[in-house]
Structure 1
Amino acid sequence: MNIIKKHPVNKLGYNFVEEKYIPEGKDEYYLRNSQNTGNTVYRKLTSQEIEVLVHNRNTSDNWDLIFVSSFFNAELVKNCKFYGLVRIGNLQPLYLEFHNLRMPVGLYNSTIISCDFGDNICIDNVNYLSHYIIGNEVMIANVNEIAATEKAKFGNGIITEGEEEDTRVWMELCNENGGRKVLPFDGMLPGDAYLWSKYRTDEILLDKFKEFTLQKFDSRRGYYGKIGDRTVIKNCRILKDVLIGTDAYLKGANKLKNLTINSDAERTSQIGEGCEMVNGIVGYGCRIFYGVKAVRFVMASHSQLKYGARLLNSYLGNNSTISCCEVLNSLIFPAHEQHHNNSFLCASLLMGQSNMAAGATIGSNHNSRSPDGEIIAGRGFWPGLCVSLKHNSKFASFIILAKGDFPAELNIPIPFSLVSNDVARDTLVIMPGYWFMYNMYALERNAWKYADRDRRTDKIQQLEYDYLAPDTINELFDALKLLNTLEPNEEGIAETSGFENTSRATEIIKVPQAVTLFAELIRYYGTMQLLHHFVNNKFSSFDALKKTLSAKIQRSQWLNIGGQLMQQGEVEALKRNIKSGKIKSWEEVHAYYINQGENYLKDKLYHAYTSLLEILSITPRQFTADFFIDLLQKAVETKSWMCKEIYESRAKDYSNPFRKMVYDTREEMNKVVGSLEDNSFIQQQTGKLDEFKKQVKSVIKKLKS
């Protein structure tokens, strides 16, 4: 039976906060007054204004509790019901226009309970507007309900005074059984979510993370909802306990409940038709359109959900897009792409720059007796069409999976590999270095694309988009160690085990080519970092360069913390500082990220130098000017080869007869897909190669002098 309580009508709009939760000497409006930061001086209505309001079919339980500014125009308030304390700013005879929505300034045809309004707002046909503070020039039309409750948390993982612990909202990342759950909070970065979900055996650290979250927010009851300046809300149904920034645009949403929607003039957020979002945080500059469902989530800044996408118990990193498909219990680092209705992602950690094709099913817990499996994938994870994976599986960086149903758990530690399930021969096939051999265009273009599309204005975490970086270089070293233990046949194929949870053998193909390639890539990475260091610091001699290089010869280990690469030792120091109390808040954790970002180029340089010494088996003493000149010349050869592969991997699309057969002429093909010669990215890369050759020539001249 529905329990419907009866109260005197003259109590409507009052007693928002239970008396026992109001501090001594305060009233129920004390938090509301602290939230309303405007400078408006309010006054009571004049008798003439009350007469106009009554004439315009407005009602109030107590006209003495309606306060207005000095430039209030009573003629612009019509057919409204007021309950409780209401404060209204300036109303002028104007109309506001946004995207062809034109509304006269004023309050019309609405029920308003205990709200504050800024200047020149447009409110029309809001059936129930309760306990909100609304900014200047806000436009709201045709909304069923906008209300805040006394226990509003606005999507943050807190509880208010007197609430039971089991009402707290957790976000169950990476694992369906909740074993890696974290508390969502406004301002949560990918690195925060990763650290909290990863180090589950460190109880002190986990307690500190919870403490940091709770101290960010006030547990007192009675906070009002807020709608920031210039926000537009039209044709929506229910907004409950939603905190909305400035310049947001909400149109046609079905239900928005317990949310923070961050938005400002430079980073506007939008939510569109048919969307339903509950218990979450929407970052700055987000776009959510067309039937999206999101529950227990965080969307980092400039991420998108579109076309019926479902995001549940998941963190979506910055600059990511999910369309149509379903994502459950996952932690996704920045720059993720997932565009197709029939792809599915479950209980996974994707560490950035990932792309899921149509039909991909990443994570099936049906091979376990409990839904507690996980998938971990390094940067650049790319499961192809109709790929099906089983928990648990783990992948190194830049793994591409060919179309197929992979029958068992996988552990692929070799980066830049193509992984295939050869059904006819019942064999798992791994091709190390595939990207460089056959798809250099996509590899290089993606690195450029992700950096170019990074829309963040507040870059607390420095994201690494280059495919050759400390994390992937260390993986290349590990892969070389593994590949050098194999005994390939004359065709370069070696059989091994341990890559798949089956008794069948795994084939690794092109082993000699991969060994040569990986060593060349490490050498190229080291040389390029030294070259950048030489040029950026305008050194005039090799000795000047050598003096700035670290005496360390031990290659450092690195971790991907939410898309930001950090030395393992620095991550351990961060954890120690948190547990010891040296770092006392999420803001100080974020300051640590910033500090690490400022040191990244230096740390990366030292890593590159030690990697170079290791791959060449030389000491710092043996690293001479002549040696460096030789490395620079080899780097030009590698860069030239890469540029050639970029062109040729794209040129295959123009020479493939099955691609060409849908066009009657080459001219028709060029009109439809663009000519190869006019490809702007290839032209850009060719230009960069020419600049690089000139730069190397200039540096070599200085080294010789």
Structure 2
Amino acid sequence: MSRSDNSISTLYPSLRNSLSRVHEDLCSLKTRKLTNEETEHLKQHGNHSSDASWSNVSVMITEEEGELFYIDCFFIGNNVISFQKGEVRFSDDLCLPACVRTTTFKNCVIFPNCFFSNNTLAENCVFLSGSVCMSNGRLTCKPSASFGNGQLCNVGNETGGYSIKLDGDLFYTDMRQLLEEGTQPVFEPIREDRCVIGPSACIEYCSLLDSVFIGEGCHIIASMLVDCTVLGSRANRTLVSNGNATSSILQWGVHFETGSNCVCSLLCEHSFTDCNAKIINSVIAPNTGVSSGECNSSLVGPFIGFHHNSVLISAIWYKGKGNIGYGANIGSNHTGRLPDQELIPGEGLFFGLGCNIKYPCNFMNAPYSLIASGITTLPQKVEMPFSLINKPSTNYEGVSPAYNEILPGWALYSNYYMLIRNENKFSKRNKSKRCAFEMHILRKDIIELLVKARNYLLMRDKLSKEAFLDLDAFGTLRDKRNCSCQFLHTIEEESDDSSEDAPYLELNSMVKEIYTDADIAGLGKNCMTNKSRLHGISVYSFFIRLYYLRLLKRFIRETFESKPEGLTMETLTKEAENQPFYNAIRLECTETDLLSLMLSLQSMEMLLLQNAIWSKKKDFVRGRKIMDQYDVTHDYDKDMEVVEERKKLVGGEMETVIASLQSLA
């Protein structure tokens, strides 16, 4: 998304542009002294001034003049007031009369059409048109206030980590530059002597607002803000209700509610907090919410579900899209040492109920993996994507009892419904138009991790042609099980003593029943059975192949639309930049003609959709056995809508591509 896009600058007006407009308004402001009649009018309505001559109060010169609608106010220092008339919008269903009453002002500028009532002290503030202030304590500003901009926020390990200079104009995607290069954009420092409120901002029942910038349309209720920036716009209003924030930035569309506390942190656009969330030295990405739990020294990526009492400390979770279950202890100190370690979760990582994660820990190359409920993980680096880490199913001889068991690729074959639902969920829940996020899960960088993990499981550096895993059989399967769908449906159901558990390939004379990180890289401090290794190889191979065939389908559609004649694999890959893709297709697939490849893709897509239905149906079968009224509170057809949508989309695309290729033949 371009930072200079006009539509984006309207939806998300930058802090510096907003301040620049305020400065222009103040510089162009023309004032005059009160007339004797106006002074008497103010006195008659219960107003007072610290200067008996009222020379400390000036009137703003505007095109339309009305009544100085001020009642029971006290003016200290130099103030600029304006005529108040008409109505001020308080909410969608309520307008208030423009007037100023029962408020003490010191060194303030009040623009036309505002509403004030029962405020103890407003000091060193600029109130723009349409602002509403009711029943507040003290609104004040220190000299040379930065509104929290330039405040250092330390994420990662608490004794070092990455130092981020907070700024209202930061993009969440700027964090990538910081993580990869150790730098971030440099912004002009902000130094202001007055708070800025509005336009159309509403502040009510706040005990203290000290050195704050409150953007357009923001609504602050019963909160305490010190040295903060709260950004907003007509389209993206920010709500702060019953919360406390210090030295922090709340960007457009943030909801910060119900007892939330925030210190030295950045809440990016459309993030939210509630239920006494505690956020310290952290960056919360767009579309992520923190409820109840504690987040300390962490970079919390987009679309993360953090909705329960849990702890996240010193995590660099840039790609986000994961979930934190109730009672998860992610980063509690466990050795009495300095808090100098950190966690790097991978994209889509799921932390189960009550799990305990010991540091340091690196799951960056294990995206969309699941850590089961109640387990404790040792310090480790895991590089097996879409895996399940759980308690061992039995005690294995020679394996430490502290080790868990890992099932590589488990989420791909056991819960493909989750992947479809997640992609749909990310697209529907994305509110940010300022930062672009990748919604597809099976994309190039994820597939590269699958290739790397498969090579680890093969216990070799490369997958050669001789070790080719046949597409039609979803891997090198046994003769008695030559159906991909049957393979998917039986992976979980196989018994350990099955007669079909012979090895796929004799890749290594050191084939074992149980492997650890001493045998295979990427397992972390976990053990793995040979059966799980073979399943992982097959599943990873299937999805690597799926990715390249989907890419081929896209190339076919684009090429057919522009130049259908002579459409072959060679014409598609004649460009030098397509050679790596061509080589991958040759390595991963036995078919060589386009029609056969697309027919294979069609069967794979249908198989995966069947698997998604099967994985969700398991929940309903189990639920109905346990709960007599299960169908009353669960709607199977509604849950299947996302699968039916995918089925319709994929089916239509495949029919079009196959028909095009058949017409050429």
Fold in common (TM above 0.5): yes
TM-score calculated relative to the size of structure 1: 0.77
The answer to whether structure 1 residue 541 and structure 2 residue 545 are counterparts is no
The answer to whether structure 1 residue 455 and structure 2 residue 431 are counterparts is yes
**Is the Cα–Cα contact under 8 Å of residues 45 and 68 in structure 1 kept in the other structure?**
no
**Is the Cα–Cα contact under 8 Å of residues 261 and 283 in structure 1 kept in the other structure?**
yes
In 2: Cα distance, 1:491 partner to 1:404 partner:
32
Written as runs of structure 1 = structure 2, the 5 A alignment for 1:663-678 is 663=628, 668-676=629-637
Counterpart in 1 of 2:188? 216
Find the partner of 1:76 among 65, 69, 87: 69
In 2: Cα distance, 1:661 partner to 1:517 partner:
32
Alpha-carbon distance change, 509 to 308 in structure 1, aligned in 2, over 3 angstroms = farther
Q: Deviations over 1:234-272 (max 9, x none)?
A: 11111111111111111121x111111110011111111
Q: Which amino acid aligns with 2:516?
A: T
Counterpart in 2 of 1:473? 447
In 2: Cα distance, 1:37 partner to 1:352 partner:
43
Q: Secondary structure of the equivalent of 2:263? A: strand
Counterpart in 1 of 2:376? 406
In 1: Cα distance, 2:377 partner to 2:300 partner:
24
Counterpart in 2 of 1:514? 536
In 1: Cα distance, 2:336 partner to 2:169 partner:
35
Find the partner of 1:112 among 95, 105, 119: 105
Find the partner of 1:372 among 340, 343, 350: 340
The answer to whether structure 1 residue 629 and structure 2 residue 629 are counterparts is no
In 2: Cα distance, 1:490 partner to 1:647 partner:
29
Offset at residue 364 of structure 1 (A): 2.8
Q: Deviations over 1:147-168 (max 9, x none)?
A: 11112101111xxxxxxxxxxx
Alpha-carbon distance change, 296 to 35 in structure 1, aligned in 2, over 3 angstroms = farther
Counterpart in 2 of 1:181? 163
**Is the Cα–Cα contact under 8 Å of residues 67 and 85 in structure 2 kept in the other structure?**
no
Residues 402-411 or 392-401, more deviating = 402-411
Counterpart in 1 of 2:659? 698
**Is the Cα–Cα contact under 8 Å of residues 31 and 223 in structure 1 kept in the other structure?**
no
Report the identity percentage.
Answer: 21
Q: Secondary structure of the equivalent of 2:135? A: strand
Offset at residue 501 of structure 1 (A): 7.1
**Is the Cα–Cα contact under 8 Å of residues 517 and 524 in structure 2 kept in the other structure?**
no
Offset at residue 549 of structure 1 (A): 4.9
**Is the Cα–Cα contact under 8 Å of residues 219 and 239 in structure 2 kept in the other structure?**
yes
Offset at residue 59 of structure 1 (A): 1.4
Written as runs of structure 1 = structure 2, the 5 A alignment for 1:430-441 is 430-441=406-417
Q: Deviations over 1:478-521 (max 9, x none)?
A: 0111010189974885412256776x855464222321221221
**Is the Cα–Cα contact under 8 Å of residues 138 and 209 in structure 2 kept in the other structure?**
yes
**Is the Cα–Cα contact under 8 Å of residues 68 and 82 in structure 2 kept in the other structure?**
no
**Is the Cα–Cα contact under 8 Å of residues 476 and 518 in structure 1 kept in the other structure?**
yes
Counterpart in 1 of 2:216? 246
Which consecutive unaligned segments of at least 5 residues does structure 1 have? Answer: 1-29, 158-168, 201-205, 554-605
Q: Secondary structure of the equivalent of 2:327? A: coil
Counterpart in 2 of 1:524? 546
Offset at residue 307 of structure 1 (A): 0.8
Alpha-carbon distance change, 234 to 660 in structure 1, aligned in 2, over 3 angstroms = farther
Counterpart in 2 of 1:464? 438
TM-score calculated relative to the size of structure 2: 0.81
Q: Secondary structure of the equivalent of 1:365? A: coil
The answer to whether structure 1 residue 66 and structure 2 residue 58 are counterparts is yes
In 1: Cα distance, 2:386 partner to 2:292 partner:
28
**Is the Cα–Cα contact under 8 Å of residues 69 and 83 in structure 2 kept in the other structure?**
no
Q: Which amino acid aligns with 1:171?
A: C
In 2: Cα distance, 1:312 partner to 1:284 partner:
20
Written as runs of structure 1 = structure 2, the 5 A alignment for 1:135-146 is 135-146=128-139
In 1: Cα distance, 2:278 partner to 2:244 partner:
10
**Is the Cα–Cα contact under 8 Å of residues 428 and 507 in structure 1 kept in the other structure?**
no
Offset at residue 680 of structure 1 (A): 2.2
**Is the Cα–Cα contact under 8 Å of residues 259 and 281 in structure 1 kept in the other structure?**
yes
Q: Secondary structure of the equivalent of 1:467? A: coil
Alpha-carbon distance change, 457 to 338 in structure 1, aligned in 2, over 3 angstroms = same
In 2: Cα distance, 1:550 partner to 1:365 partner:
56
In 2: Cα distance, 1:72 partner to 1:651 partner:
70
Find the partner of 1:228 among 198, 206, 211: 198
Q: Secondary structure of the equivalent of 1:36? A: helix
In 2: Cα distance, 1:148 partner to 1:35 partner:
20
Q: Deviations over 1:551-597 (max 9, x none)?
A: 457xxxxxxxxxxxxxxxxxxxxxxxxxxxxxxxxxxxxxxxxxxxx
Alpha-carbon distance change, 32 to 679 in structure 1, aligned in 2, over 3 angstroms = closer
Give RMSD over aligned pairs.
3.0
Q: Secondary structure of the equivalent of 2:264? A: strand
**Is the Cα–Cα contact under 8 Å of residues 303 and 320 in structure 1 kept in the other structure?**
yes
Counterpart in 1 of 2:314? 347
Counterpart in 2 of 1:601? none
Find the partner of 1:170 among 147, 152, 159: 152
Counterpart in 1 of 2:480? none
In 2: Cα distance, 1:441 partner to 1:31 partner:
50
Alpha-carbon distance change, 294 to 700 in structure 1, aligned in 2, over 3 angstroms = same
Alpha-carbon distance change, 670 to 286 in structure 1, aligned in 2, over 3 angstroms = same
Offset at residue 661 of structure 1 (A): 3.0
Q: Deviations over 1:383-416 (max 9, x none)?
A: 1111111111111211111113325212210101
Counterpart in 2 of 1:662? 627
Q: Secondary structure of the equivalent of 2:276? A: coil
Counterpart in 1 of 2:485? none
**Is the Cα–Cα contact under 8 Å of residues 261 and 282 in structure 1 kept in the other structure?**
yes
The answer to whether structure 1 residue 496 and structure 2 residue 516 are counterparts is yes
Q: Secondary structure of the equivalent of 1:366? A: coil
**Is the Cα–Cα contact under 8 Å of residues 372 and 389 in structure 2 kept in the other structure?**
yes
Q: Which amino acid aligns with 2:221?
A: K
Written as runs of structure 1 = structure 2, the 5 A alignment for 1:237-636 is 237-253=207-223, 255-273=224-242, 275-341=243-309, 343-350=310-317, 351-367=319-335, 369-395=337-363, 396-422=366-392, 425=395, 426=401, 427-459=403-435, 462-485=436-459, 490=502, 494-498=514-518, 505-507=527-529, 509-536=531-558, 538-541=561-564, 549=573, 551-552=575-576, 610-611=580-581, 613-614=583-584, 616-617=586-587, 627-636=593-602
Q: Deviations over 1:215-245 (max 9, x none)?
A: 4224xx5432212211111111111111111
Counterpart in 1 of 2:13? none
